[in-house]
């Protein structure tokens, strides 16, 4: 049994955030026609070819009949042959009057094993001369006025030959030409099939991609503001270069996945009204060495021809890794590609009006050469949106969604810390699908909540649980929830459920009132008390323990360890850094800092002290408020899911007093000081 609780709707690794969505930027990736259908067309073409050939050769009235030499000689003797053409032993010829062969008479004694031939009538024939034909043969023909022709007799035959001989080849070639044209028009496959060195860059605006403007970008205002200047430059390059100043060439967009880097780049192009060439860096590098560099050249050439324009290189870290650090194999190819990008960027003056935007979520691994002046010397950080940002993004994506009156976007924004723009877009989409499935005309708040739960925890799991199990789960979740209400400084409890979902058998959601960028110690302790509340409730009620607290224990231990090792919250150890800071984009960083064994023991002691203290506090509070806990559990067993209002109603508890909140707007600089979410 495992019921990780108190999950914050943090972005989970398997959030099906982006990908399946109609995103426009993937449009050029695939041919619009599935390969299977192309094979069908190919087959059809071959079939048509076959039947045409058969018709012309077999079905035609003038198809020659094959006659024995004796019959041929007879017909010549009768004066019924006008002309022949001979090549080696084979002769073709034309009758005066059509002849039917084989005749009914000759058919009967047909030799066993001889191929049965259907009687046919024709004015042309073929035959084979026996080797013993003497010199008198020619005279014999002349006597019977047979013209000996220098050219093949069967006039219609060249077509047959052509189709038989070259038809399939011609059709195949035509088919490929057609395929290539199509692909070239789409800018997709043609590149990889026929011109490896062609960049597969897609001109977004030509693909029928909707024009994106800053209107479509929300919640990342700082990044947006920094790009306004780029737009201005593209619109009016002369203004900048008039006094000899040089224009921006490269801008690096840094931010977590799904924060809208691609969207921003498109918006810059859209605002400036210039072509947008986009390409993922991973696409540059193929198995064949040298291809990457050629593609880069081609990409820049295209962009320059259509300047002013924007080149967008996604995931630049996949080729821009510091040289020499790349894993063996493929490294030289990456290096070449990277060098080509550097060369191209040095090559244009900046007056040409080509601006290169590149995106990455790992700026620290990039080769320093990429970041030098004249290259990607500007860096724009795209942060995960804060509460107001999330609200704005939800507004953008619900523009076309019919929302019911009960939908509270600010509330939704406050329950979704850690979600990116792409996640929020996905949330709106899931909620709309859910509402449609429920035959509603509008999307309700409940649809959003259910969609969020599904995204964060996975779909509901139909588990058949005994009454005893359900009760135990209800007490566990009830413990988390009650403590969330009782402990000063804890996040408000937003929702409790004992519906199994994904890995969890039950969930208690708490939502921060504001985005916090700086966490007071009391808040951290309140969180640990809440995390330990599930197990504590089980102990108070049943006096026994289960495995259900595994992920609670994991989270609480991590938090306590960070308090001691990173945030100087142990009096015994003081403000000594014992664990490295975490990369905000990569989660926990590897490596550890050196310290003595004695310190290690002290760390363990201090962590244990925090955990034990919080555990005792949880037990004490729950014993004291057993009545409220029982009431909450009764309601949970009955209704399975309770929201904030219902929880306060059934427990009769007032919302817990809050610690002083940080004023909104206090933000860390860039990506530096943001505490990793817990």
Ligand X SMILES: Nc1ncnc2c1ncn2[C@@H]1O[C@H](COP(=O)(O)OP(=O)(O)OP(=O)(O)O)[C@@H](O)[C@H]1O
**Cβ neighbours of residue 479 closer than 8 Å, sequence gap 6 or more:** 533, 534, 535, 536, 537, 538, 540, 618, 622, 629
| CA angle 240–242–247, rounded 5-degree value | 35
Rounded to 5 degrees, φ, ψ at 271 are -65, -40
Burial 67-97 (b: 16+ CB within 10 A, else e): beeebbbebbeeebbbbbbeeeeebbbbbee
The answer to whether 10 is annotated as binding is no
250 has which bridge partners? 356
Q: Could you say which of Zn ion, ligand X, none residue 261 binds, taking C-beta under 5 to 8 angstroms by partner kind?
A: ligand X
Q: Site map for ligand X, 347-386, x if CB under 6 A?
A: ------------x-x-------------------------
**Closest separation between CB of residue 460 and Zn ion, Å?**
18
The DSSP code for 14 is T
CA nearest neighbour of 124 among 89, 73, 72, 74:
72
477 as an active site residue: the answer is: yes
Q: Does 259 bind ligand X (CB under 6 A)?
A: yes
Q: Could you say which of Zn ion, ligand X, none residue 421 binds, taking C-beta under 5 to 8 angstroms by partner kind?
A: ligand X
CB-CB neighbours of 610 under 10 Å:
22
Q: Which of 261, 378, 472, 511 binds ligand X (CB under 6 A)?
A: 261
**Closest separation between CB of residue 425 and ligand X, Å?**
4
Measure Cα distances from 470 to 474, 475, 547, 634, 636 in Å: 6, 9, 15, 11, 9
**Closest separation between CB of residue 395 and ligand X, Å?**
9
Contact 373, 358 (CB under 8 A): no
Considering Cα of 510, then 512, then 516, then 520, what sign does the dihedral take? negative
In the complex with ligand X, the residue whose CB is nearer, 452 or 493, is: 452
In the complex with Zn ion, the residue whose CB is nearer, 261 or 476, is: 476
Consecutive H or E run containing 564? helix 550-565
The answer to whether 458 is annotated as binding is no
Measure Cα distances from 125 to 90, 143, 157, 536 in Å: 11, 20, 12, 103
Read off the tokens for 85: 């053409």
Contact 15, 21 (CB under 8 A): no
**Closest separation between CB of residue 545 and Zn ion, Å?**
12
- Number of chain positions touching Zn ion (CB under 5 A): 3
Q: Does 320 bind ligand X (CB under 6 A)?
A: no
Q: Which of 552, 606, 644, 671 binds Zn ion (CB under 5 A)?
A: 552
Q: Give residue number: closest CB to ligand X.
A: 421
The answer to whether 480 is annotated as binding is yes
Q: Does 257 bind ligand X (CB under 6 A)?
A: yes
Q: Which of 230, 263, 285, 412 binds ligand X (CB under 6 A)?
A: 263
DSSP string, 355-422: EEEEEES-GGGB-GGGGSTTSS-EEEEEPPP-HHHHHHHHHHHTTTS-B-TT--HHHHHHT-TT--HH
In the complex with ligand X, the residue whose CB is nearer, 54 or 211, is: 211
- Number of chain positions touching ligand X (CB under 6 A): 22
3-state helix, strand, coil in the chain (%, to 5): 50, 10, 40
Q: Could you say which of Zn ion, ligand X, none residue 534 binds, taking C-beta under 5 to 8 angstroms by partner kind?
A: Zn ion
In the complex with ligand X, the residue whose CB is nearer, 204 or 509, is: 204
**Closest separation between CB of residue 622 and Zn ion, Å?**
13
Q: Could you say which of ligand X, Zn ion, none residue 484 binds, taking C-beta under 5 to 8 angstroms by partner kind?
A: none
Q: Which of 393, 496, 563, 603 binds ligand X (CB under 6 A)?
A: 393
Q: Could you say which of ligand X, Zn ion, none residue 23 binds, taking C-beta under 5 to 8 angstroms by partner kind?
A: ligand X
Task: Tell me the C-alpha distance between 77 and 137, whole Å.
Answer: 12
Q: Could you say which of Zn ion, ligand X, none residue 556 binds, taking C-beta under 5 to 8 angstroms by partner kind?
A: none
Q: Does 551 bind ligand X (CB under 6 A)?
A: no
DSSP string, 594-615: ---HHHHHHHHHHHHHHHHHHH
In the complex with ligand X, the residue whose CB is nearer, 261 or 444, is: 261
Read off the tokens for 521: 């110690």
Contacts with ligand X in 201-230 (CB under 6 A)?
A: 217-220
Contact 292, 340 (CB under 8 A): yes
Task: Tell me the C-alpha distance between 361 and 261, whole Å.
Answer: 10
The answer to whether 259 is annotated as binding is yes
Catalytic one of 283, 477, 539, 644? 477
Pairing of strands 641-643, 493-497: antiparallel
Q: Could you say which of ligand X, Zn ion, none residue 651 binds, taking C-beta under 5 to 8 angstroms by partner kind?
A: none
Contact 180, 186 (CB under 8 A): no
Q: Does 534 bind Zn ion (CB under 5 A)?
A: yes
Consecutive H or E run containing 622? helix 597-624
**Closest separation between CB of residue 338 and ligand X, Å?**
19
Peptide bond before residue 263 is cis, with ω within 30 degrees of 0: no
Considering Cα of 317, then 323, then 325, then 328, what sign does the dihedral take? positive
**Closest separation between CB of residue 217 and ligand X, Å?**
5
Task: Tell me the C-alpha distance between 171 and 179, whole Å.
Answer: 12
Q: Could you say which of Zn ion, ligand X, none residue 552 binds, taking C-beta under 5 to 8 angstroms by partner kind?
A: Zn ion
The answer to whether 261 is annotated as binding is yes
**Closest separation between CB of residue 223 and Zn ion, Å?**
37
In the complex with ligand X, the residue whose CB is nearer, 18 or 297, is: 18
Q: Does 154 bind Zn ion (CB under 5 A)?
A: no
Q: Does 295 bind ligand X (CB under 6 A)?
A: no
Q: Could you say which of Zn ion, ligand X, none residue 366 binds, taking C-beta under 5 to 8 angstroms by partner kind?
A: none
Contacts with ligand X in 397-456 (CB under 6 A)?
A: 421-422, 425
**Closest separation between CB of residue 24 and ligand X, Å?**
7
Contact 676, 555 (CB under 8 A): no
Q: Does 5 bind Zn ion (CB under 5 A)?
A: yes
Q: Which residues bind Zn ion (CB under 5 A)?
A: 5, 534, 552
Q: Which residues carry a binding-site annotation?
A: 255-262, 476, 480, 552
Which residue ranges are tagged as binding site for ATP? 255-262
Show binding-site residues for Zn(2+).
476, 480, 552
Active site residues: 477
* Residues engaged in binding ligand X (CB under 6 A): 18, 23, 217-220, 255, 257-263, 314, 359, 361, 393, 396, 421-422, 425
């Amino acid at each position: 049994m495992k019921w990780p609780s108190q999950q914050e709707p943090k972005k989970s690794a398997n959030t099906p955030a982006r990908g399946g969505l109609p995103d426009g930027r993937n449009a050029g990736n695939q041919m619009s026609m599935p390969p299977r259908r192309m094979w069908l067309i190919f087959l059809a073409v071959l079939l048509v070819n076959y039947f045409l050939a058969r018709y012309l050769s077999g079905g035609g009235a003038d198809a020659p009949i094959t006659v024995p030499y004796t019959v041929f000689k007879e017909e010549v003797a009768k004066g019924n042959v006008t002309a022949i053409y001979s090549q080696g032993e084979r002769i073709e010829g034309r009758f005066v009057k059509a002849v039917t062969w084989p005749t009914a008479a000759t058919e009967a004694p047909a030799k066993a094993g001889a191929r049965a031939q259907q009687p046919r009538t024709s004015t042309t024939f073929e035959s084979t001369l026996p080797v013993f034909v003497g010199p008198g043969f020619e005279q014999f023909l002349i006597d019977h006025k047979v013209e000996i022709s220098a050219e093949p007799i069967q006039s219609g035959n060249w077509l047959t030959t052509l189709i038989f001989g070259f038809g399939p080849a011609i059709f195949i070639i035509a088919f490929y030409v057609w395929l290539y044209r199509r692909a070239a028009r789409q800018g997709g496959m043609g590149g990889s099939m026929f011109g490896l060195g062609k960049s597969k860059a897609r001109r977004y605006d030509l693909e029928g991609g909707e024009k994106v403007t800053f209107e479509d970008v929300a919640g990342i205002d700082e990044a947006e503001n920094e790009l306004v200047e780029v737009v201005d430059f593209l619109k009016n390059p002369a203004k900048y270069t008039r006094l000899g100043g040089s224009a921006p060439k490269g801008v690096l967009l840094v931010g977590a996945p799904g924060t809208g880097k691609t969207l921003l780049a498109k918006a810059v192009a859209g605002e400036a009204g210039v072509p947008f060439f986009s390409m993922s860096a991973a696409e540059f590098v193929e198995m064949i060495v040298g291809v990457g560099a050629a593609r880069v050249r081609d990409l820049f050439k295209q962009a320059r021809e259509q300047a002013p324009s924007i080149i967008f290189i996604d995931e630049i870290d996949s080729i821009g890794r510091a040289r020499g650090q790349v894993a063996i194999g493929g490294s030289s190819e990456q290096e070449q590609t990277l060098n080509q990008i550097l060369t191209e960027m040095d090559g244009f003056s900046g007056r040409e009006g080509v601006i290169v935007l590149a995106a990455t979520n790992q700026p620290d691994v990039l080769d320093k050469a990429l970041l030098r002046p004249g290259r990607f010397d500007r860096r724009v950080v795209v942060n995960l949106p804060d509460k107001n940002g999330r609200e704005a993004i939800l507004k953008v994506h619900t523009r076309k969604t019919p929302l019911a009156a009960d939908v509270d976007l600010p509330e939704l924004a406050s329950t979704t810390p850690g979600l990116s723009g792409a996640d929020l877009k996905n949330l709106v989409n899931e909620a709309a699908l859910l509402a449609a499935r429920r035959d509603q005309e509008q999307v309700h708040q409940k649809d959003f909540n259910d969609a969020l739960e599904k995204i964060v925890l996975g779909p509901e799991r139909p588990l058949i649980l005994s009454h005893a199990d359900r009760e135990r789960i209800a007490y566990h979740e009830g413990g988390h929830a009650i403590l969330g209400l009782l402990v000063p400084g804890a996040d408000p409890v937003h929702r409790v459920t004992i519906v199994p979902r994904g890995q969890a058998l039950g969930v208690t959601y708490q939502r921060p009132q504001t985005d916090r960028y700086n966490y007071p110690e009391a808040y951290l302790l309140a969180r640990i008390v809440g995390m330990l509340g599930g197990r504590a409730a089980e102990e108070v009620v049943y006096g026994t323990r289960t495995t259900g607290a595994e992920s609670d224990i994991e989270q609480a231990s991590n938090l306590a360890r960070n308090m001691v090792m990173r945030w100087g919250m142990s009096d015994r150890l003081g403000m000594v850094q014992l664990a490295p800071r975490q990369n905000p984009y990569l989660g926990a960083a590897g490596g550890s800092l050196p310290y003595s064994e004695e310190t290690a023991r002290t760390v363990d002691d201090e962590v244990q002290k925090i955990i034990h203290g919080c555990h005792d506090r949880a037990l004490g509070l729950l014993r004291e408020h057993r009545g409220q806990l029982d009431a909450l559990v009764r309601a949970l067993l009955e209704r399975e899911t309770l929201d904030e209002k219902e929880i306060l109603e059934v427990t009769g508890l007032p919302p817990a007093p809050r610690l002083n909140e940080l004023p909104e707007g206090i933000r860390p600089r860039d990506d530096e000081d943001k505490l990793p979410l817990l």
